[in-house]
Amino acid sequence: MVDKRSVWMVVPGIAIWAQLFLGAALAELNYVDTRMLFLAAYFLPLIVMAVGFWIGRTGWLQIGFVGSLLPAFLVLPKEDHLALDDPLAVLWLCGLVGLYLVMGTDWFSGARLESDEVEHESLASVGLEEGANGGRRPVAAMFSGHQQHFVSRFVVSLWLFCVITYAVFFDTGIQATIRAAFGGSEQIAVSFLAVSMFFVWCMVVYMMIVVPAMNLEYDQRRLQLSTVAMAQTRVRRLAGLRIFVLVLLSVAAGWAVFFVQ
Amino acid sequence: MRGLIYDIIGLGFMFASGYFFYRCVEFLAQKDYVAGLIALIAGFVMVRAGSEISKLGLFIQRERS
């Protein structure tokens, strides 16, 4: 189901695409013999975003969109790499990627609440319901009671940010390797690496802090639900095993009586 | 106590994932994209595992309190 939040999520996505590929796509369209494969690569991120928007899958909109930028990068002419040559443009691009992911997370939290209601009903059916889940939870409420748990995660995310920043910008060994491998365009390579690793860091923060913060109650109730289901399955399996052993013993006794006679 | 141990192990996993992200940058700089992707996946797996283990620790602490 398409809602207002997903419409806003598309805006930074289009801005990212325009900054990177709009010039190259327009130039390709203006050529006499337009290369359709190149054009398809340039427009692939927009198609992926439109599909994700239509089917309402956050994974498509986040990972699928960023992954679909790679084929366009592969065919992008060198003169159009200028979008990554300027440090300010790279900062702007990182900001847009961050905004895109934050908006996706906001949309995801809305979708999660819908699925949480379904879970709520199934929990109620096994007698584990813990009260109604009303409306969207404020950010402060997500972290309440678990500040220590989440502070340690903030520290880890800062550590990972420092590791990635050091590796991309300050490690002399890696800098030398980049100079050797990308002679003449090392600034573009560093910028591309920086934007890619910033996206990776955003996904790590999303997995490590945002998803657990949104789903702690949900996960605990799911764990309880699966424990109850496992216990029920175990009882059923034990009953099945007893019947199987009984049948086996009866057959064995029948065979024994048959052979003794 | 058991919950705290789980939490510490989970944090250890998350801290250790930094090594894989560092190696990922190193491999990408060498244009070894397959190795970079594998290191990246290993990093994500470490983060996910750490997150799940420490979440379990938190649940245990909540059950006890």
Q: Could you read off the pLDDT of A125-156 as tens digits, one per residue?
A: 545 444 444 445 555 555 566 677 778 888 99
Read off the pLDDT band of B64 (50, 70, 90).
low
Contact A221, A130 (CB under 8 A): yes
Give the separation between CA A125 and CA A42, rounded to whole angstroms: 50
Give the separation between CA B65 and CA A201, rounded to whole angstroms: 34
Distance of alpha carbon A51 from the chain centroid: 16
User: Which one of B17, B43, B51 has the shortest CB-CB distance to A212?
Assistant: B51
Task: Check pLDDT > 80 for residue A81.
Answer: no
Secondary structure letter of residue B11 according to DSSP: H
- pTM for the model stands at 0.70
CB contacts, 8 Å: A188 with chain B: none
Using alpha carbons only, give the angle A117, A123, A128 rounded to the nearest 5 degrees: 130
Contact A132, A113 (CB under 8 A): no
Contact B2, B54 (CB under 8 A): no
A244 phi and psi angles, rounded to 5 deg: -60, -45
- Report H helices in A81-185: 87-125, 139-143, 147-165, 172-181
Q: What is the ipTM of this complex?
A: 0.92
Q: Which chain A residues have any C-beta within 8 angstroms of a chain B C-beta?
A: 146, 149, 152-153, 156, 159-160, 163-164, 166-168, 171, 173-174, 177-178, 181, 189, 193, 196-197, 200, 203-204, 207-208, 211-212, 216, 219-220, 223
Which of residues A22 and A145 earns the better pLDDT score?
A22
Which segment of A43-47, A239-243, B12-16, B45-49 scores lowest on mean pLDDT?
A239-243
**pLDDT tens-place string over residues A196-223:** 899 899 888 888 887 777 777 777 777 7
Give the separation between CA A75 and CA A222, rounded to whole angstroms: 46
Give the separation between CA B18 and CA B20, rounded to whole angstroms: 5
